[in-house]
Amino acid sequence: MKMTSIKMKKKLENRLANDEWKTTFNRDKDTFRIEWADSGKGITITLPNVISKYEARGEEALDELEDHIHEALRVMNETHHLTGKEQNIFPVIRAASFPTDTEQGKKLIYTEHTAETRIYYALDLGKSYQLIDEEMLNKEGWNLERIKEVAGFNVRSLPTDLKKDQVYGNDFYFHAARDGYDASRILNEALLEKLKAECKGELAISIPHQDVVIFADIQNPEGYDILAQMAMKFFAEGTVPVTSLSFLYEDKELEPIFILAQKKPKKDRKEE
């Protein structure tokens, strides 16, 4: 029997029954919201996205969603401080379309990155993290430069474990530790310079979603097509999508590359 938004709403209500929370269903927007009854802080879910994952993975997808919601609501109901927790501050990559304000109207701290991406800053809380907003900074007398310096140091200290795959003479290196900061490895300039020095061709980088970064040593034209297809696949599957575009790393700068995957055999390409 086909899963509908009404049926999914009922499943979520049963899973998330809690006297301290309240749930609402917006039929027009097809969303489901869970929030603390006393403060109104909460999380809004787009039901068609949940249904899609449920149809693909069943109850396992709802188990993960339930864990995420419990953790998110717990974090929202606590007060967190930056001072004394400097080692837990990290940069996170988000799409340029990502909101710059919280649902409560607080302004998030961020810096521009590329035309496709922004850098936000997060306080790591173990199983999750909280994006840092202006109010948190002002309360503790911090400024953006201090956050950038601390976060930059911490991201360089993260371990790197690259898995290599070779396709049609091109080398692809994947990092997917799922620690919340896989895409943030793109901000480790020392790592990028090391990879650039070791490249036989051009260094291209893709950050399709939060939990993966792909470094590619592109040694022939086919490499660009392969990277484009990889990036699109990961982008579609990611819980926190960033961008399906890839970047060339040159002179310590990231330049977006627009790749149209070509299906023609090499012979036909040479004749064009």
**Contact residues for 158 (Cβ-Cβ < 8 A; gap 6+):** 90, 179, 181, 184, 185, 188
Q: Which H or E element spans position 124?
A: strand 117-124
**Contact residues for 247 (Cβ-Cβ < 8 A; gap 6+):** 114, 204, 205, 206, 254, 255, 256, 257
| Cβ atoms < 10 Å from Cβ of 83 | 9
| Cβ atoms < 10 Å from Cβ of 10 | 12
**pLDDT tens for the chain, residues 1 to 272:** 688 999 999 999 999 999 999 999 999 999 999 988 888 888 898 999 899 889 988 999 899 899 888 888 887 777 777 888 999 999 999 999 999 998 778 899 999 999 999 999 999 988 778 899 999 999 999 999 999 999 999 999 999 989 999 999 999 999 998 888 999 999 999 999 999 999 999 999 999 999 999 999 999 989 999 999 999 999 988 788 999 999 999 988 999 887 544 443 344 433 33
Domain boundaries, the chain: 5-76, 86-156, 163-271
Say what the pTM is: 0.73
Nearest to 102 by CA among 135, 80, 69: 135
